[in-house]
Amino acid sequence: MKTVSVITTSLLLLATAAEASGPGEKLSYIVKIMGSKFAKASLYSSGNRVYGEIKTNPKWDSIFLMDNRIASELNDQLFPVETELELCSKKRKSLYEIQFTNESINVLKTQKSKVKKITKRIGRVHDLTSWLYQVRSKIKEEPDALFSYKVFSGNKTYDVNLVPLPEDLVQTPFGTRKAKPYRVVISRPIRYKKEMTIWFGVDGSHVPLKAIGATKFGSFEIMIQTIEQKELGDVDVQ
């Protein structure tokens, strides 16, 4: 399996602005729990490469450390072809190399120097970030459509269903934006169901502006901080 380096991906995405051609984007967010700044998160895209990261505020590290990264190569339909996922918590660090096909998911999981190979027979699914990009690509043409996806977390597959809500206004750090909210229901067959609401901008590239929901620590809010859309090129990650 080809390895996609999250470090290489992020560096190349940020470094190629001056010399590459084609669309690129960087989105930055603040995550709050019960009004407290919990984490910073970013999403970068360039060509068919996507990179995301989230890292907790140091004040939260002793309670719930999170230092996660994901790098993906997407196909023309915005489904993942290869993904590398790094999950870091207080107790463990796990690395996943995932290859997606039309019939299966092949996973190479490394944890505490132990390597485990897993194959799941399942049709085409999304990873933790690719489904967002596919939703964004469809909102312009079908803003009131229901969207349903299967999303693979590295360990489990979830059903993700989006239900459109009436257009709304969102207060952001750079002014009031018109947005299209969706109620997002995330579930598994056996006693697992979570809900949140995501507001996507109605113009341009339909950027996710805001999300709210609940965690075991209380209610959370994810709010856009900056939007950088540049002429970046497709990055060839080795």
Structure-token pair, residue 106: 């092949």
| Length of the chain in terms of residues written | 238
Chain-centroid distance, C-alpha 63:
23
Q: What is the pLDDT of residue 231?
A: 53
Residue 12: half-sphere exposure toward Cβ, Cα within 13 Å: 20
* pLDDT tens track, the chain, 238 positions: 444 444 444 444 444 433 344 468 889 999 999 999 999 999 988 888 889 999 999 988 888 888 999 999 999 999 999 999 998 877 788 999 999 999 999 999 998 889 999 999 999 999 999 999 999 999 988 999 999 999 999 999 999 999 999 999 999 999 999 999 999 999 998 888 999 999 999 988 899 999 999 888 889 999 999 998 765 333 322 2
The DSSP bridge partners found for residue 197 are 183, 212
What pLDDT does 233 receive?
A: 39
Whole-number pLDDT of residue 4: 41
- State the fold for domain 6-231: outer membrane lipoprotein receptor (LolB), chain A (2.50.20)
Q: Cβ atoms within 10 A of the Cβ of 83, count?
A: 27
Closest to 75 in 3D by CA, of 67, 83, 64: 83
pLDDT for the residue 206? 93
Residue 221, pLDDT score: 95
Separation of alpha carbons 83 and 117, rounded Å = 15
